[in-house]
Chain A
Amino acid sequence: MVISQETKIINLAIDGQQVKTKEGTTVLKAAQDAGIYIPTLCSHPSLTPSGSCRMCMVEIEGMRGFPTACTTPASEGMVAKTNTPQLQELRHDTLELILSEHPYACLVCDRKENCESYHITLRKQAETTGCTMCPKNGRCELQKVVDYIGLTEVRLTPSRREVPILRDSPFFDRDYNLCILCGRCIQVCQEVRGIGAIAFTYRGSRTLPGTAFDKSLQDSGCQFCGACVDICPTAALTERSGRWRGLPERSVITTCPYCGVGCQLSLEIKGNRILRTVPVLENSVNSGQACVKGRFGIAEFVHHPKRLTMPLIRKNGELVEASWEEALDLVTGKLVSYKGDQFAFIASGKCTNEENYLAQKFTRTVMATNNIDTSARLCHAPTVAGLAQAFGSSAMTNSINEIRMAACILVIGSNTSSTHPVIALEIKRAVQNGGKLIVADPQDIELCRYADIWLSHSPGSDVALLMGMMRVIFDEGLADLAFIKEQCENFDAFKKSLKDFNLDFVEKVTCVPGAKIAKAARLYAAYKPSSIIYGTGITQHSHGTDNVLALANLAMLTGNIGRPSAGVNPLSGQNNVQGACDMGALPDVYSGYQRVDNPDIQRKFEIAWGCSLSNSPGLAVTEIHDAIYKGEVKAIYLMGGNPVLSEPDAKHAQEALNKLEFLVVQDIFLSETAQLADVVLPAASFAEKDGTFTNTERCIQRVRKAIEPVGNSKPDWWIICQIARRLGNKGFDFEHPSQIMSEIASLTPDYGGVSYQRLEEDVIQWPCPENNHPGTPILYVDKFARGKGKFSPLIYKPPDELPDKEYPLLLTTGNSLYHFHTGTMTRKVTGLNAIEPEGIIEINPVDAHPLKISDGSKVKVVSRRGEVIARAKVTEKSPPKVVFMTFHFAESAVNILTNPALDPLSKTPELKVCAVRIEEVQEI
């Protein structure tokens, strides 16, 4: 139910053609929509018109001079001409002026059609020689405009800038000799990315885009998203990767393998090699944007020499290469003897829906156990538990592109600009549109810059903070009682539990002034629609489900559910965490959250799969280790995870894996965990296989095979099928993932209408029960999935482990923009490593000073469970008594320190809070 505003249709004449367009449209857009070409160099659909290049000058009756079509709004009865001789002459002469500053040999040379790669010219300046030597050849917008205008000669004295090429980005070069000053790079950095790392510098003919005081890009705040490179019409900004390889032969649109946003990327390919990845502009969740990882961090890991290309088998303690036959025989031979609950499968939020579906089917049918779980246990499980309890279904209630229209946004426990950069752009867009922003985060994260209110609450005090806000809302009569009465239940019990959260108490627990909390509460309640966005800062706690329930309460209390730009919106960390859960790679449910202990469901799957199935829920990932210690689990099949780095109390986890009798790891790299395996099976990367990912907004998107698998690697779905077949099981005779999707659709109500055929044309967000169902961008528009929304009374529970004398600091963990999870992929990318080469611990100067720790010094971080070495970054971004680390670096593996205390409902560990102390390390 998206509210569409009535827009007036107006009529105008362009070049004698009658054109209808919406009021507010520019003359340029109206002409383009009518199929009339007007040359442009500075205009771009993502940007506000600037009118700087002057190419789109037109004549409009009744207007003086030559207004630019890109900046002039179309109006009723307007008569515009776009190609009179006078206009063409003006354009010609203006273009000539542009070319007097831009090496134009490639543009006007009469032999440009026959130019050879190494055409010899005797030019003494740094410019492209033959036209094919320009890295933008074939994609240069200047070429197109020169062709249209028909410019064949430049009569002006060339005035080349001859400035040195700037190479201070690890990914792209800035050759301002080729810049035409259209300003798009600056606009996209400012308007779309909200960064403003570059601006025009100097005046007159010295004017060029640049950084403040000519500082390096990194020092000026550049996040290397590459938006400027994508939007540059010439070769002034070009990525180094694939720079001299010429034009791509083909491109394949697929889904980014990093975070849960699911950006649509076009992989440009030559031979069997990805030259570069470009974000897709139209019909994509990302509207032409990506982040540094998706933009520059893909080709290099896909083609990395360390990719696994052959199966590895442990012989005499060493992993040695083996044939697929040998490896598969070995795996099947071993697995036969571990059928039942002594086996566990750990699936992956990195793999496709089809692969996760097969993983659970394999576990349940072939291995006869419900011991299947995924990495989602470490992040998303409290959402699954909490939102199912409150609403009846567990995912983002609204869509990403609605965020920009929210009147208020509460971001809590999510450093969105680092973890989901493209969603952060939506949040910034909302602020630009006049929306209010409340950020609740202990750290001074990037979004705080844009926030109206920043609540720096103590890690682990979310329930108190949120209940405090709700009490203010209720007490001040800001609650939506009509909505509550009509759509919700259990409100009285909840109301009673609010009593414990007076602002004095909340202030004490959260360390946030009560007045500020009240102000945030009023803002959230008053500005509707109001959207809640949260991440692992909410879920990774020993009371993570309570945190999620508190957010659900808050949304219901104000009626912010079931309407556009509102809702409760968890951001899933990995590309397909949502899909892995949807597919039933969980110990208690089949695909579509159908419970294994429901006899009807059990029967349905037994009939479909032709075997008997266990009705007792299996073990969660976080329970498996204890089960291994107890000797209950003896063999594990691990697909695409790296628990040695990602599990809390990682040393303990690693010891558990060592105790296993048999460990199979399937991955694209020999990860820290794979090094412990008995058999390592080389998997194909996302670029080498077909499938689907379900992003954080429940959108099912295609993953398309772009290149042949590297070496002898194979897609995960193929490997599982091979093993299942070798174990004699039917139901694994798939030849293409589309067939697996058909089976998923037949057994999973929410995916009932999904097919590869439809996905070619439609964007589908589940629930989509039938083939002709359009999908569901907004959940609970009419009613909640469980009927009535259920309020949950809550009590405040402190974190399991708090600082004390021995361990005086509170350690919280998170993500960097430049690395992803355990770094398996991103740490293979040279540029990302150049920007952020090692693990750091952020510490407030107040804490650093007495410990004699200065910025950049090496420190030892010690918890009850272990110790790691990291480099200190002394910064006020961390509040006093709180230190912060990322978990991307094996060398300073933060999860050696973290606390494995579990949330009782979701079994998710408290990765966000533990107590540590810091010691100085003498550097030698």
Chain B
Amino acid sequence: MAFEEIHSRAISEWESLQSSSKPRILVGAGTCGRAAGALDVLEAINRELTQRKLEAIITQVGCLGLCYAEPMIGIIKPGCPQIIYGNLTPKLAAQLVSDYLVNDNPQPDLALGYIGDSKINGIPNLFELPALKPQVRIILRNCGFIDPENIDHYIANKGYSSLVKALKMTPEAIIEEIKKSGLRGRGGAGFSTGQKWDFCRKAPGEEKYIICNADEGDPGAFMNRALLEGDPHSVLEGIVIGAYAIGASQGYIYCRAEYPLALERLRLALHQMEEYGLIGDDILGSGFNFHVKIKEGAGAFVCGEETALMASIEGRRGMPRPRPPFPAISGLWGKPTNINNVETWASAAVILQRTSEWYNQYGSERSKGTKTFALVGKVERTGLIEVPLGITLGEIIYGIGGGILKGKGFKAVQTGGPSGGCLPSSMLDSPVDYESLTAAGSIMGSGGMIVADEDTCMVDLTKYFLSFTQAESCGKCPPCRVGTRQMLGILERITQGEGKPGDIEQLERLAKTVKQSALCGLGQTAPNPVLTTIRYFRDEYEAHINEKRCPALVCKDLVSFYILPDKCQGCMICLRNCPVEAISGGKRLVHVIDQDKCVKCGTCLDVCPPRFAAVAKVSGKQIEVPQQPTHIGKSA
């Protein structure tokens, strides 16, 4: 079947769906939606439809990126714009079906926004929402709108038109176009994609490989997962174009096994591509052959590093090797290999479709285009976002993210996952691009963005990242294996109140050794959290070490709980709830915490009635309280 025929069939199918006389319900059923209960919502909707003998077209779609509002659904009544509802429960969803579909009440209170041309009273335009307005959705354009399991949906939305175009171009012209677009590796290192392709194309050798790195391992990062689940073909199209440009006939997608839905959709997508002749031998009659295999990663963080990833595909333990030789010269099984991240492949396909000039309009001087981020942590609106590079951290955190949760103060944002750095409020005006982040001591990374509020202890947060990198070190080189462990040991001591003068300098020295002498990117970037937190939050380290004080009141060994005699009403609630019986007292007696017994669980603080607010949590100081329970009112 010629592609024109496939394309026109897909268009007519898509159009008939849009003009369907039945209402349509789109359920955001990516892993994020499912985790929030989307499948229960779906079941409730189905039940309600059956009970009311209603007909509707239900489609499971990918993630719209508004994680804070999951589970979400979209309802399109014939002739009406789509309305997106969020924070649903099965009960609410069922209610909506009857309210809106039967009684024509769109329930504006539950709606997040509408999508479409005509307005609905009381409901804002979804894309005008502060969470979405600053975003530019290029990579994520289809996520949440098309059925990721239906290749025709993708094709109807200009899918595979880039491939058709590419197959008529020379490989050199494609590479030139990618070069001109300024696209840089979205896996985090930011190397020019066009140049990378060029190296591999020019490398001597008949057999060449293409790899898609979908081993997204950073804690808190889920950009690649959402894209693979929501629009797998957009990635695959880029891969096939890249293979054609580079001259590879075999490709691998290395995806972590923890992403079962993404894997399932990838497999299905590949199967559909085969049926349409978009992959395999003689792709679209061009004479170009290209096959793709999926390799499931077994959960080692280091396998996201390209040389370790290739070792893993080859069936060996995923351990990095030094470069040179670079994969472009000697990669998988010693053959020239080009490896790019999920988002890079998807970007390449769009660039070819929309031209490099069009792509160039987004982004900053040296960082072109858009980038997806997983915005998580202590922000009001967590989510998967896509923004033009060059946007400031503040615009992301306060604009898209809606500021800090519960109105607390901002303390830091960690970009680039455990290999990145923690940036303070002074950097909020700093643009998000490769150079600026590096200059600030962090990295772009694959796009994790973790926001910390004022209640976060920076030493403790650093300890968390270090415990991650040291546990995920492959063990091959001593700087990474031992260096991270030594640093972690010092951080542990500091947070336990056993810090010593000189610890900071020791940390800096170790960090420098690890950064300069570790074998691979994992090791070389592992000290970044330590270095940036020392750079920006040195006072917190000093408070821990010199004053034995945790300013954020997080480090257990450095905090104490006291019952304030002038506030305690002798209600016995804290006494009864203390798990270690550290509180003594009685009715109408001021309670006293035995500091030796106290395990600092904070239960007393939690249960003390807010109107009394008699429990104080302090660090680095003692509060004078009676040794024994005394009668209320007497001690003061």
Contacts and interface: CB of A to CB of B under 8 A. Distances in A.
- A is bound by B: yes
Interface of A: 50-54, 57, 65-68, 71-73, 90, 93-94, 97-98, 100-101, 155-157, 159, 180-181, 183, 199-200, 202-208
B479 A204 contact: no
Nearest to A181: B475
16 contacts: A51-B321, A51-B519, A54-B478, A54-B518, A66-B517, A71-B324, A72-B324, A90-B513, A94-B517, A98-B482, A101-B478, A180-B478, A183-B476, A199-B317, A204-B473, A204-B481
B102 to A, nearest CB: 56
A181 B519 CA distance: 14
Nearest to A86: B516
Contact of A200 (B319, B324, B524): B319
Given A50-B321, A72-B324, A156-B486, A203 B474 contact: yes
Given A94-B513, A97-B482, A156-B486, A68 B475 contact: no
For the residues of A in contact with B, the DSSP-based class is loop
Given A97-B513, A200-B317, A203-B300, A181 B478 contact: yes
B476 A204 contact: no
A438 to B, nearest CB: 23
Interface in B499-524: 506, 509-510, 513, 516-519, 524
Interface in B455-497: 470-479, 481-486, 489
Contacts of B475: 181, 200, 202-208
Contact of A97 (B317, B476, B479): B479
A203 B486 contact: no
Question: Which of A52, A66, A73 lies at the interface centre, i.e. has the most chain B CB atoms within 10 A of its CB?
Answer: A52
Contact of A204 (B319, B478, B485, B518): B485
A177 to B, nearest CB: 14
A156 B486 CA distance: 7
Contact of A67 (B317, B322, B485, B518): B322
Contact of A207 (B473, B483, B517, B519): B473
A90 B517 CA distance: 7
Interface string B169-184: 0000000000000000
Nearest to A204: B471
Contacts of A157: 486, 489
B302 to A, nearest CB: 8
A523 to B, nearest CB: 21
Contacts of B477: 51-54
Interface string B291-312: 0000000001010000000000
B531 to A, nearest CB: 16
B485 A159 contact: yes
Contacts of A199: 317
Contacts of A51: 321-322, 477, 519
Given A52-B477, A159-B482, A204-B481, 16 more contacts: A54-B518, A90-B513, A94-B478, A97-B513, A98-B478, A180-B478, A181-B475, A200-B319, A202-B475, A203-B302, A203-B471, A203-B472, A204-B473, A205-B473, A207-B475, A208-B475
Question: Which of A67, A155, A205, A208 lies at the interface centre, i.e. has the most chain B CB atoms within 10 A of its CB?
Answer: A205
A203 B517 CA distance: 19
B473 A66 contact: no
B178 to A, nearest CB: 24
Q: Give the top 10 A-B pairs by smallest Cβ distance, nearest first.
A: A207-B475, A51-B322, A97-B482, A93-B513, A204-B471, A71-B322, A205-B485, A52-B476, A97-B478, A98-B478
A206 B471 CA distance: 8
A200 B300 CA distance: 14
A101 B513 contact: no
A159 B324 contact: no
A211 B519 CA distance: 25
A205 B489 CA distance: 12
A68 B478 contact: no
Given A100-B486, A204-B481, A54 B473 contact: no
A365 to B, nearest CB: 62
Given A181-B476, A183-B476, A205 B519 contact: no
A303 B6 CA distance: 83
Contacts of B486: 97, 100, 156-157, 159
B517 A101 contact: no
A204 B472 CA distance: 5
Interface string B315-357: 0010101101000000000000000000000000000000000
Given A204-B471, A204-B475, A52 B519 contact: yes
A156 B487 CA distance: 10
Contacts of B518: 54
Contact of A203 (B473, B509, B516): B473
Contacts of B472: 203-204
Question: Which of A71, A101, A204 lies at the interface centre, i.e. has the most chain B CB atoms within 10 A of its CB?
Answer: A204
Question: Which of B472, B476, B524 lies at the interface centre, i.e. has the most chain A CB atoms within 10 A of its CB?
Answer: B476
A57 B517 contact: yes
B204 to A, nearest CB: 15
A57 B483 CA distance: 17
A65 B513 CA distance: 12
Nearest to A72: B324
Contacts of A73: 324
B471 A54 contact: no
Contacts of A159: 482, 485-486, 489
Contacts of B473: 203-205, 207
A159 B486 CA distance: 9
Contact of A54 (B302, B319, B321, B479): B479
Contacts of A65: 516, 524
A67 B506 CA distance: 24
A71 B486 CA distance: 27
A204 B322 CA distance: 19
Contacts of A52: 476-477, 519
B6 to A, nearest CB: 42
A157 B75 CA distance: 61
Nearest to B514: A97
B555 to A, nearest CB: 20
Nearest to B513: A93
Nearest to B524: A65
Nearest to A202: B475
A318 B486 CA distance: 72
A203 B478 CA distance: 13
B481 A205 contact: yes
Question: Which of A54, A67, A68 lies at the interface centre, i.e. has the most chain B CB atoms within 10 A of its CB?
Answer: A54
Nearest to B506: A155
Interface string B536-569: 0000000000000000000000000000000000
Nearest to A51: B322
A202 B524 CA distance: 21
Interface in B431-472: 470-472
Contacts of B302: 203
Contacts of B474: 200, 203, 207
B481 A207 contact: yes
A97 B300 CA distance: 24
A90 B512 CA distance: 9
Nearest to B474: A203
A710 B305 CA distance: 60
A65 B302 CA distance: 20
Given A203-B472, A204-B470, A207-B474, A100 B481 contact: no
Nearest to B475: A207
A291 B567 CA distance: 81
A181 B319 CA distance: 13
B567 to A, nearest CB: 44
Contacts of A71: 321-322, 324
B482 A90 contact: no
Contacts of A67: 322
A265 B566 CA distance: 87
A705 to B, nearest CB: 45
A205 B482 contact: yes
A199 B322 CA distance: 19
A558 to B, nearest CB: 27
